[in-house]
Chain A
Amino acid sequence: DIQMTQSPSSLSASVGDRVTITCRASQGIGNYLAWFQQKPGKAPKSLIYAASSLQSGVPSKFSGNGSGTDFTLTVSSLQPEDFATYYCQQYDSFPFTFGPGTKVDIK
C-alpha cells in the first residue's frame, strides 16, 4: 500500500499569511494526488485534483504543485474561512490512501 505523510501536522497562522502544506507519497504516484478541506462537522470538500488542477468554484488563492512523490498545497492569503483541516489523497492505485491531515488554526 502507498503511505501518505503530511507536514506539518498543525500550524498556527494569521489572516493574510501565505501557508504551504507538504504531502509525500511512499512511492511514485504520477500526479494522481488530490487535496481536500474539512471543517468541523462537515464533509470534506475537494480543492485540487491531479496535483495542480483547481476544482470548479474553488478560489485561485489555493494552488497545488508536485509530481511523483512530493506535493504541496499553498494558500496565498489566509482568510477566516480557510481555517480548517487539510488532507491529501493518492488515487493512483488501490487502496486509495489519505494523509493524516494538517490542521490550520488562528494564531
Chain B
Amino acid sequence: EVQLLDSGGGLVQPGGSLRLSCAASGFTFSIYAMSWVRQAPGKGLEWVAAISGTGGSTYYADSVKGRFTISRDNSKNTLYLQMSSLRAEDTAVYYCAKDGAYLGFDPWGQGTLVTVSS
C-alpha cells in the first residue's frame, strides 16, 4: 500500500525556521516527483513546491521562493521542506503528495500543522 506520512510541524515564531518531512512507503520513491501543498485555516489548497525524482529539478510558488527549500533523500525514501523566514501567513496544514505526472497527485499525506505566531 502506498503511504505518505507527514511530520515536523509545530509552533514557531515569526522569522523562525522549521523542517517538514514526508516518509514514503509502498512505491519506488526515486522515480516519482513529489510536491508540497498547503492549506491555511478555513482556506483552499495552495501548491507550494515540487521536486523531480532525482532531485535535480525544483519548482516553487512565488509566495515561498527564496524562503523555502524542497529536497529529498532517495536512500531514506523521504521528502523534506525546509522553511525559513517564516511569516504569519505561512500558518497552514502542509501536505506532501506523490506526483504521478499524467496521473496527478495521488495519494496525499495526512498533513502536518505549522503555526507561525509569537
Question: Chain A: residues with CB nearer than 8 A to chain B?
Answer: 32, 34, 36, 38, 43-46, 49-50, 55, 87, 89, 91, 94-101
Contact = CB atoms under 8 A, between A and B. Distances in A.
Contact of A43 (B47, B95, B102): B95
Given A43-B110, A44-B95, A89 B62 contact: no
Nearest to B35: A96
B50 interface: yes
Interface in B45-64: 45-47, 50, 59-62
Contacts of B45: 36, 38, 44, 87, 89, 98, 101
A3 B61 CA distance: 13
Given A43-B95, A95-B47, A100-B44, A89 B109 contact: no
Nearest to A91: B104
Given A95-B59, A96-B47, A96-B50, A46 B111 contact: no
B109 A43 contact: yes
B28 to A, nearest CB: 17
A60 B27 CA distance: 26
